């Protein structure tokens, strides 16, 4: 007979938000430990901590990352630094170390409450003496006090009194995870430690860049209803059966590359003192209020599809916690600040997949992300010059300095080691970045950014293309040879359509911007032309090159050809799907031969249809979408969300929903099997875009914002907010109508909106309503 499952008490449960905000696990599974650590990462945009258990069980991987702190060992590749771990709390009873690997665990439950960005845990241990200990904990990285981490652990012996030994500290024993070829690396050394009454202090310094990172921590013990602060890092306490002892740890973390040792110490300690004076409850209240404010803009609520809502919140949460509002010298790596995948490097993922979320929900962060690139324009100029090009060539993988950081070797899907050529061929990153600058300026209407930064960057990237294209005299056209598009299965191709069309866009965008500047402010144009040494002849050249760049197209098939010769490659059918209903390489083929086939890794032409969607007719989109979608293996997490959006554009709701669901669960269900290395940031950003640019059909235009919603039948209502031209719009969409309300408009901008086929200025107060044309028609019919 099955015994009824014992229920254990966890009073934190009363604090949980409703289940549409919770990400939970109800099991301890050692194989999934690293994946859960990624999933349960907490942070505040500047500092992130992987969701490691407090006890640091065997094989756990504590990760503490600060936005923008990278380092390098010798001639090896620059990587994000894994800093000392402030979280360890070790508990021993009867000389036994309690942790889920070492000890029997009879109950284990972890909950990330996305609404308050608080990580909760409940475990029950059974010692070898068969005595149980109830263990609950919670922690958060404050969104209100950007330097503060607060944690609490409560233990209660359930069967008999226990002598509990607790040890805590800041663990400097951590290293970067490393790679097989480079080994594990430590990027810092300790420069100061002190244990004083009321606090502990630690300061480390990174080896190469000499950045100080300081930690001050205080430990409070609540026992017998009395709270006391202790300076010892180890305590021994006799705790009676059913009595609870609480350990609270307050940690402040500060980093600086300019402050001296004394200064950073003073700041870190004073932040700790301030936090202690506020007290535990107030710190929680302030943190929760900051998140409430954040979600009031960032949340997307889909009534009728609670699973999608929860999954979207999970993805949005992970974007929020890695985007800095204060640092305009750092960007977001492909794996956020939740792991060391791709060594924390920054790719095109940021500008095209992640940035749109911030442009529309937190333009301050978006501006910082762009400023990161702008500040590295000189490095990009040097990179271009070193390779014999004009203008600016941004690195394929970037870290702190803006120099190229792509490693030369990596592991392929079949485990073999392959040479990497992305840095020499994926030059599309140049126009991807220019596109992002233009997108930000268009959506925000931030003219000062446009004049001061965007024009310069768009001009310098256009200049790059003038030196990258070659003239094919015979065919009287310009070509881009030896390139790689987003589809990384095909290296060294000529005239990749994505690259060529975006290069063309970049060249013509530079002309366009200068022409607009000439119309608006001739004085400004003079200034810019002087600073960037632009001559009318040069502008004419950009126009000529842009107009004459070859875009591969098959008249016979009436399709864009992904690159010259693509249609001559072997064309196989996808015959097998994996457990996630995603295509597999047919077993008759070998990975090493994939480049000889028309199989592609990720959205390439389809990405183009999305980015420059008003350059293509509906029919062109439809034909190209179906051709390439059938040949895409989605071996990059960047691919599904884009296929969802373009699926909707061509009217295929089934495909849109299929790919949306897939993208949503990328890191909720570890779909690619590598979430342990960090959250797939581009996929997370892609889910936001699929919801807003896809299902809500949002598109920015020069003079207005357009919405063309398409809600699946089970979605009753979709609500979200966006910033457009300095105003905060709350948008509610149902199958019958769309309501838009201006909730903030400090500059009193006039907002012109097109929804379905109707255009109107939004009322300054109250909700402006747009009825679906079908609803209107039905109403009319009823009336007549
Ligand atoms: O930028 C991507 C690329 O498009 C596919 N491989 C992984 C990179 C980082 O996410």
Name the helix (H) or strand (E) containing 767: strand 767-771
d(CA 469, CA 172): 50
Residue 194, C-beta contacts closer than 8 angstroms, at least 6 positions apart? 200, 201
546 lines ligand 1 (CB under 6 A): no
Atom of ligand 1 nearest to the CA of 335: 10
pLDDT digits (tens, 9 = 90+) for 621-652: 999 999 999 999 999 999 999 999 999 999 99
pLDDT given for residue 1 in this prediction: 45
106 located within any domain? yes
653 located within any domain? no
Helix and strand numbers, DSSP H then E, in the chain: 21, 36
Percent of the chain topping pLDDT 90: 93
Specify burial of residue 321 (Cβ count, 10 A radius: 0-12, 13-18, 19+). Answer: buried
pLDDT given for residue 391 in this prediction: 98
- Sheet harboring 89-93: ordered strands across? 96-97, 89-93, 162-168, 234-239
480 near 499, Cβ under 8 Å? Answer: yes
Alpha-carbon dihedral angle through residues 519, 523, 525, 527, given to the nearest 10 degrees: -170
Q: Out of 3-7, 449-453, 746-750, which region has the weakest mean confidence (pLDDT)?
A: 3-7
169 located within any domain? yes
d(CA 508, CA 515): 10
Distance, CA 455 to ligand 1 centroid (Å)? Answer: 27
pLDDT given for residue 4 in this prediction: 52
135 located within any domain? yes
Distance, CA 608 to ligand 1 centroid (Å)? Answer: 16
Considering Cα of 256, then 377, then 77, then 47, what sign does the dihedral take?
Answer: positive
Atom of ligand 1 nearest to the CA of 601: 5
pLDDT given for residue 730 in this prediction: 98
d(CA 338, CA 676): 9
Binned at pLDDT 50, 70 and 90, residue 784 comes out as low
Three-state DSSP class for 8? Answer: coil
638 lines ligand 1 (CB under 6 A): yes
Q: Which residue's alpha carbon is at the smallest distance from atom 4 of ligand 1? A: 486
Closest CA to 744 of 436, 317, 293, 316: 293
pLDDT given for residue 522 in this prediction: 96
pLDDT digits (tens, 9 = 90+) for 200-220: 999 999 999 999 999 999 999
Atom of ligand 1 nearest to the CA of 347: 1
Pairing state between β 409-411 and 417-419:
antiparallel
pLDDT digits (tens, 9 = 90+) for 715-735: 999 999 999 999 999 999 999
Q: Which residue's alpha carbon is at the smallest distance from atom 9 of ligand 1? A: 334
pLDDT given for residue 39 in this prediction: 98
486 lines ligand 1 (CB under 6 A): yes
Please state whether the predicted TM-score (pTM) of the whole model is above 0.75: yes
pLDDT digits (tens, 9 = 90+) for 106-139: 999 999 999 999 999 999 999 999 999 999 999 9
Closest CA to 323 of 362, 351, 292: 362
Distance, CA 322 to ligand 1 centroid (Å)? Answer: 18
643 located within any domain? no
**Candidate of 339, 428, 488, 679 to mutate for ligand 1, largest count of ligand atoms within 8 Å of Cβ:** 488
- Sheet harboring 737-744: ordered strands across? 301-303, 717-724, 727-734, 737-744, 767-771
43 located within any domain? yes
Average pLDDT value for the chain: 96
The enclosing domain of 205 has a CATH number of: 2.70.98.40
Q: Give the bridge partners for 122, in sequence order.
A: 109, 136
d(CA 193, CA 84): 13
Distance, CA 347 to ligand 1 centroid (Å)? Answer: 7
Pairing state between β 212-223 and 132-141:
unpaired
Binned at pLDDT 50, 70 and 90, residue 224 comes out as confident
pLDDT digits (tens, 9 = 90+) for 258-303: 999 999 999 999 999 999 999 999 999 999 999 999 999 999 999 9
Atom of ligand 1 nearest to the CA of 680: 10
Distance, CA 349 to ligand 1 centroid (Å)? Answer: 7
d(CA 337, CA 371): 19
Distance, CA 341 to ligand 1 centroid (Å)? Answer: 11
Atom of ligand 1 nearest to the CA of 348: 1
94 near 129, Cβ under 8 Å? Answer: yes
Exposed e or buried b per residue across 624-652, where buried means at least 16 C-beta atoms within 10 angstroms of its C-beta: bbebbbebbbbbbbbbbbbbbbbbbbbeb
289 located within any domain? yes
Closest CA to 753 of 724, 781, 773: 724
332 lines ligand 1 (CB under 6 A): no
Task: Name the DSSP class of 476.
Answer: T
**Candidate of 340, 601, 641, 682 to mutate for ligand 1, largest count of ligand atoms within 8 Å of Cβ:** 682
- Mean pLDDT across the stretch 435-443? 98
**Candidate of 432, 636, 637 to mutate for ligand 1, largest count of ligand atoms within 8 Å of Cβ:** 636
Residue 306, C-beta contacts closer than 8 angstroms, at least 6 positions apart? 20
d(CA 723, CA 709): 18
Distance, CA 343 to ligand 1 centroid (Å)? Answer: 13
Distance, CA 502 to ligand 1 centroid (Å)? Answer: 18
- Mean pLDDT across the stretch 160-172? 96
487 lines ligand 1 (CB under 6 A): no
d(CA 141, CA 127): 32
The yes-or-no verdict on residue 592 having pLDDT over 70 is yes
Task: Name the DSSP class of 119.
Answer: E
CA 656 to chain CA centroid, Å, is 21
Q: What is the largest CA-CA distance in the chain?
A: 90
Specify burial of residue 403 (Cβ count, 10 A radius: 0-12, 13-18, 19+). Answer: middle
pLDDT given for residue 5 in this prediction: 59
55 lines ligand 1 (CB under 6 A): no
pLDDT digits (tens, 9 = 90+) for 310-352: 999 999 999 999 999 999 999 999 999 999 999 999 999 999 9
Q: What are phi and psi of 639, to 5 degrees?
A: -80, -50
Three-state DSSP class for 365? Answer: helix
**Candidate of 484, 638, 640, 642 to mutate for ligand 1, largest count of ligand atoms within 8 Å of Cβ:** 638
Q: How open is the CA angle 567-573-579, to the nearest 5 degrees?
A: 130
Pairing state between β 234-239 and 245-256:
unpaired
Alpha-helical regions (H) of 350-493:
355-361, 363-374, 377-386, 422-425, 428-444, 447-449, 455-468
222 located within any domain? yes
Atom of ligand 1 nearest to the CA of 486: 4
pLDDT given for residue 9 in this prediction: 82
Atom of ligand 1 nearest to the CA of 345: 9
Binned at pLDDT 50, 70 and 90, residue 780 comes out as confident
Distance, CA 756 to ligand 1 centroid (Å)? Answer: 35
Closest CA to 633 of 501, 500, 488, 499: 488
Residue 695, C-beta contacts closer than 8 angstroms, at least 6 positions apart? 648, 656, 660, 709, 710, 711, 712, 715, 718
347 lines ligand 1 (CB under 6 A): yes
Q: Which residue's alpha carbon is at the smallest distance from atom 6 of ligand 1? A: 636
Considering Cα of 464, then 465, then 470, then 474, what sign does the dihedral take?
Answer: negative
- Identify each DSSP E strand in 50-185 by its residue range: 64-66, 70-71, 79-80, 89-93, 96-97, 104-113, 118-126, 132-141, 148-157, 162-168, 176-179, 183-185
Q: How open is the CA angle 549-550-553, to the nearest 5 degrees?
A: 145
**Candidate of 332, 336, 349, 423 to mutate for ligand 1, largest count of ligand atoms within 8 Å of Cβ:** 349
Q: Which residues are catalytic?
A: 488
pLDDT digits (tens, 9 = 90+) for 226-238: 999 998 889 999 9
pLDDT digits (tens, 9 = 90+) for 593-615: 999 999 999 999 999 999 999 99
d(CA 102, CA 97): 7
Q: Give the bridge partners for 176, in sequence order.
A: 185
Q: Compute how many other C-beta atoms are within 10 angstroms of the C-beta atom of residue 107.
A: 20
d(CA 21, CA 313): 7
Number of structural domains, the chain? 1
423 lines ligand 1 (CB under 6 A): no
Closest CA to 261 of 307, 312, 306, 204: 204
Q: Which residue's alpha carbon is at the smallest distance from atom 5 of ligand 1? A: 636
Expressed as residue numbers, the domain containing 147 is 5-298
Alpha-carbon dihedral angle through residues 49, 55, 57, 62, given to the nearest 10 degrees: 20
Distance, CA 766 to ligand 1 centroid (Å)? Answer: 43
């Amino acid at each position: 007979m099955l015994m009824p499952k014992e229920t254990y008490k966890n009073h934190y449960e009363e604090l949980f938000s409703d289940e549409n905000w919770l990400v939970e696990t109800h099991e301890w599974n050692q194989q999934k430990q690293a994946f859960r650590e990624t999933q349960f990462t907490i942070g505040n945009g500047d500092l992130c901590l992987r969701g490691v258990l407090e006890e640091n069980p065997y094989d756990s991987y504590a990760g503490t990352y600060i936005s923008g702190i990278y380092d390098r060992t010798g001639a090896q590749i620059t990587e994000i630094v894994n800093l000392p771990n402030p979280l360890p709390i070790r508990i021993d009873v009867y000389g036994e170390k309690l942790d889920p690997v070492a000890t029997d665990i009879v109950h284990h439950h972890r909950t990330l409450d996305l609404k308050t960005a608080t990580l909760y845990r409940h475990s029950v241990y059974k010692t070898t003496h068969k005595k149980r200990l109830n263990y609950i904990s919670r922690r958060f990285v404050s969104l209100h006090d950007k330097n503060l981490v607060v944690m609490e652990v409560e233990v209660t012996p359930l069967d008999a009194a226990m002598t509990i030994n607790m040890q805590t500290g800041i663990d400097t024993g951590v290293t970067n995870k490393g790679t097989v070829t480079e080994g594990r690396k430590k990027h810092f050394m300790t420069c100061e430690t002190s244990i004083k009454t009321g606090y502990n202090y630690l300061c480390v310094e990174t080896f190469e860049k000499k950045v100080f990172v300081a930690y001050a921590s205080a430990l409070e013990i609540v026992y017998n209803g009395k709270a006391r602060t202790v300076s010892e890092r180890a305590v021994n306490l006799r705790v009676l059966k059913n009595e609870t002892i609480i350990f609270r740890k307050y940690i402040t973390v500060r980093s600086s590359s300019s402050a001296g040792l004394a200064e950073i110490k003073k700041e870190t300690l004073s932040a700790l003192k301030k936090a202690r004076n506020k007290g535990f409850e107030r710190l929680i209240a302030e943190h929760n209020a900051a998140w409430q404010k954040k979600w009031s803009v960032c949340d997307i609520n889909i009534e009728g599809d609670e699973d999608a809502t929860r999954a979207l919140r999970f993805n949005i949460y992970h974007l929020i916690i890695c985007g800095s509002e204060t640092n305009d010298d750092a960007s977001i790596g492909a794996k956020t600040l939740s792991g060391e995948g791709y060594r924390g490097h920054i790719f095109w993922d940021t500008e095209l997949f992640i940035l749109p979320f911030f442009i529309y929900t937190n333009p301050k962060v978006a501006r910082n992300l762009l400023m990161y690139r702008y500040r590295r324009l000189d490095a990009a100029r040097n990179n271009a010059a070193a390779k014999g090009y004009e203008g600016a060539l941004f690195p394929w993988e970037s870290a702190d300095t803006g120099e190229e950081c792509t490693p030369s070797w990596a592991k392929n899907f079949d485990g073999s080691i392959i040479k990497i050529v992305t840095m020499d061929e994926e030059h599309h990153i140049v126009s991807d970045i220019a596109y992002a600058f233009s997108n930000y300026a268009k959506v925000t209407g931030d003219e000062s950014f446009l004049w001061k930064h965007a024009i310069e960057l768009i001009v310098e990237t256009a200049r790059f293309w003038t030196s990258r294209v070659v003239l094919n005299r015979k065919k009287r056209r310009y070509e881009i040879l030896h390139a790689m598009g987003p589809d990384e299965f095909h290296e060294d191709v000529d005239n990749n359509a994505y690259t060529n069309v975006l290069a063309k866009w970049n060249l013509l965008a530079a002309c366009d911007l200068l022409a607009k500047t000439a119309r608006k402010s001739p004085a400004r144009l003079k200034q810019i032309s002087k600073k960037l040494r632009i001559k009318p002849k040069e502008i004419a050249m950009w126009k000529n090159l842009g107009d004459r760049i070859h875009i591969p197209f098959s008249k016979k098939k009436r399709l864009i050809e992904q690159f010259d010769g693509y249609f001559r490659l072997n064309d196989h059918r996808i015959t097998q799907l994996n457990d996630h209903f995603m295509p597999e390489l047919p077993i008759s083929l070998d990975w090493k031969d994939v480049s000889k086939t028309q199989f592609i890794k990720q959205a390439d032409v389809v990405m183009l249809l999305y980015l420059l969607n008003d350059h293509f007719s509906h029919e062109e989109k439809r034909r190209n979408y179906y051709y390439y979608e059938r040949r895409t293996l989605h071996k990059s997490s960047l691919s599904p969300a884009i296929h969802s959006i373009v699926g909707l554009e061509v009217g295929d709701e089934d495909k849109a929903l299929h790919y949306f669901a897939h993208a949503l669960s990328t890191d909720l269900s570890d779909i690619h099997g590598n979430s342990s290395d960090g959250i797939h940031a581009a996929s997370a950003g892609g889910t936001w875009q699929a919801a807003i640019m896809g299902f809500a059909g949002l598109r920015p235009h020069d003079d207005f914002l357009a919405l063309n919603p398409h809600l699946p039948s089970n979605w009753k209502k979709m609500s979200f907010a966006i910033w457009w031209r300095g105003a905060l719009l709350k948008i509610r969409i149902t199958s019958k109508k769309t309501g838009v309300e201006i909730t903030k408009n400090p500059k009193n901008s006039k907002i012109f909106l097109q929804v379905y086929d109707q255009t109107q200025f939004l009322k300054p107060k109250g909700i402006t309503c747009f009825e679906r044309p079908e609803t209107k028609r039905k109403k009319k019919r009823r009336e007549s």
